[in-house]
Structure 1
Amino acid sequence: MRRAVRFHETGGPEVLRLEEIPAPVPGVGEVLIHTRALGLNRAESMLRRGEYGVAPVFPSGIGYEAAGVVAAVGDGGTGFRVGQAVSVVPSFSMTDYPMHGEAVLAPVHAVVAHPEEFRRGRLRP
């Protein structure tokens, strides 16, 4: 089991719930990420209110952006390994791959490894 932010109806922030749901298993072309940071922007609030370009499918997850550590790699996830620090680039539908949870699936094409300098704390803005 894992915790994830979901909602069962459109509305304001009060419709968001932190729920226990089954842990996902990566399929072909997917990576399972244990999240350490999540992004929050206008797209998430628009989906939650029912004002985004796609309608939520209830219960709906939420979130486009995340960073964390690879926990498992599905078939076709070449280039990634368990324990690798990664970020997710929003290039998918958040109704298919919601990012606001403890462990999330992401399509391989949207996952990027952190550079070595970033992992060692040497990358400066």
Structure 2
Amino acid sequence: MAETIFSKIIRREIPADILYEDEQCLAFRDVSPQAPVHVLVIPKEPIESLATAPAGSAALLGHLLLKAAQVARQEKLEGWRTVINTGAEAGQTVFHLHVHVIGGRPLAWPPG
């Protein structure tokens, strides 16, 4: 996988407003928020996208979603949206798997 801004955040080469960290993942505020609360939850393991996640990564993927919910509760959200963009056509701009946690305002449907 190519070097990304998220790799640099994991290594603390670029500052981020980190809300949660454990041995498997990191959660931090998005620098270009689309809602009052916009947090990214990323694996520390370099996975480019959901489409390229290895078959053996089910536990890690589940962990990311559970931590996304934990961060949403920590941010006092009553409702929130989790989004995983996969591929440029879907809006993925950083090719390091990440879960968006978006909330703090009414969210329209359908998105995009």
TM over 0.5: no
Larger Rg: 1
- Which has the larger helix fraction? 2
The two structures have a TM-score, normalised by structure 2, of 0.28
